[in-house]
């Protein structure tokens, strides 16, 4: 008699909080070692223009994480009316400040300021967000570069869980410059060796394409878009989406959902990231790792 096949797949919920905590501890240990050796702690500066609530929360989380990693952290809070010229002058000053290893300008910016101009004014050697075209271009060419937080966080999760990528078909849904396009590029590179398909709003037969993925990355920003019929049994599903939906079941009056219909998709997967608690907690860690690399001049040796 042959082996009895069961239809059950063993599913692992990827715990972004646990991975983030492990990597944060690793960073903190390395910083403590640097400081013991007489070097100064890495210093991250965040520029926050205006009073956008979500941006204030993000920057608050970044400050807290800097503290936990042993970094020095400075937040430059500028009024909503700050002119583009004034902001560019702050950037010039931070570019030249030898006590600053990396800095970010929290987005979105007020409408009278060009985000692209601002991003391009940052010295690529201090661009720990990885948004400068020099870093984007170097990353695309497989050269050392600061990689932006979400794609880098996804790679860290795949690495931490030892998920096999070589030769596997990775389908990315969403072609944004900050997630879909870079993660598709990185996973196609040597070392990751995926066969990558990048899908978007004009992709034909998206359901069939998605269902052919060994690794499915949903980064299109549409709540619960990916349904069970779009997922191959045993696939790895990475959910980048985060949307607030109204809910009468929570005290806050809303609940967070991803781009994946989690309850119906999860039972089919080998691995899946939940929302919240999957990719989200990893992004700040990637920023911390980039700041440590900046302080050590790892990407751009002196
Ligand atoms: N706004 C939302 N996410 C980010 C980020 O990763 N970096 C910056 N600078 N602004 C953001």
How is the chain split into domains, by residue range? Answer: 37-123, 148-280
Closest CA to 170 of 160, 153, 185, 191: 185
Length of the chain as a residue count: 302
- 105 C-alpha to ligand 1 centroid (Å): 8
CATH fold match for the domains 37-123 and 148-280:
yes
Structure-block tokens of residue 290: 């980039």
pLDDT averaged over the chain?
Answer: 96
Q: Which atom of ligand 1 is nearest to the CA of 287?
A: 6
Q: Is the pLDDT of residue 274 over 80?
A: yes
Q: Is the pLDDT of residue 53 over 90?
A: yes
At 203, is the pLDDT very low, low, confident or very high (cuts 50, 70, 90)? very high
- 22 C-alpha to ligand 1 centroid (Å): 23
Cα separations in angstroms, 21 against 25, 42, 69:
6, 19, 10
- The per-residue pLDDT for range 236-263, each reduced to its tens digit, is 999 999 999 999 999 999 999 999 999 9
Q: List residues near ligand 1 (CB under 6 A).
A: 58, 104-107, 129, 149
Residues 42-48 have a mean pLDDT of 98
Q: Is the pLDDT of residue 73 over 70?
A: yes
- Catalytic residue numbers? 62, 106, 129
Q: Which atom of ligand 1 is nearest to the CA of 108?
A: 1
More confident residue, 200 or 2: 200
Question: Does the domain at residues 37-123 carry the CATH identifier 3.40.630.30?
Answer: no
First-to-last CA distance in the chain? 67
Q: What is the CATH number of domain 148-280?
A: 3.40.50.720
- The per-residue pLDDT for range 143-172, each reduced to its tens digit, is 999 999 999 999 999 999 999 999 999 999
Q: Is the pLDDT of residue 5 over 60?
A: no
- 104 C-alpha to ligand 1 centroid (Å): 8
> What pLDDT score was predicted for residue 7?
58
Q: Compute CA 173 distance to the chain's CA centroid, rounded to the nearest angstrom.
A: 15
């Amino acid at each position: 008699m042959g082996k009895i096949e069961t239809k059950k797949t063993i599913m692992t919920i990827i715990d972004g909080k646990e991975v983030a905590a492990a990597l944060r501890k690793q960073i903190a240990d390395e910083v403590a070692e640097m400081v013991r050796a007489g070097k100064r702690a890495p210093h991250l500066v965040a520029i926050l223009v205006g009073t956008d609530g979500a941006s204030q929360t993000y920057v608050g989380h970044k400050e807290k994480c800097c503290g936990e990693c042993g970094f020095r952290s400075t937040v430059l809070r500028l009024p909503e009316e700050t002119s583009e010229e004034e902001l560019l002058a702050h950037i010039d000053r931070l570019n030249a400040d030898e006590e600053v290893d990396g800095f970010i300008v929290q987005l979105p910016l007020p409408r009278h300021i060009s985000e692209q101009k601002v991003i391009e004014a940052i010295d690529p050697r201090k661009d720990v967000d990885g948004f400068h075209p020099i870093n984007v271009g170097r990353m695309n060419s497989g050269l050392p570069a600061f990689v932006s937080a979400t794609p880098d966080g996804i790679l860290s999760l795949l690495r931490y869980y030892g998920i096999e990528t070589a030769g596997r078909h990775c389908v990315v849904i969403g072609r944004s410059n900050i997630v879909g396009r870079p993660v598709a590029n990185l996973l196609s590179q040597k070392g990751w060796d995926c066969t990558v398909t990048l899908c978007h709003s004009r992709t034909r037969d998206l359901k069939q394409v998605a269902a052919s993925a060994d690794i499915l990355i949903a980064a299109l920003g549409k709540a619960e878009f990916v349904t069970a019929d779009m997922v191959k049994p045993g696939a790895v599903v990475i959910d980048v989406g985060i949307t607030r939906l109204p809910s009468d079941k929570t005290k806050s009056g809303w609940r967070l959902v991803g781009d994946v219909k989690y309850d119906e998709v999860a039972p089919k997967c080998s691995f899946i990231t939940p929302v919240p608690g999957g990719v989200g907690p990893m992004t700040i860690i990637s920023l911390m790792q980039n700041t440590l690399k900046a302080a050590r001049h790892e990407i751009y040796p002196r």
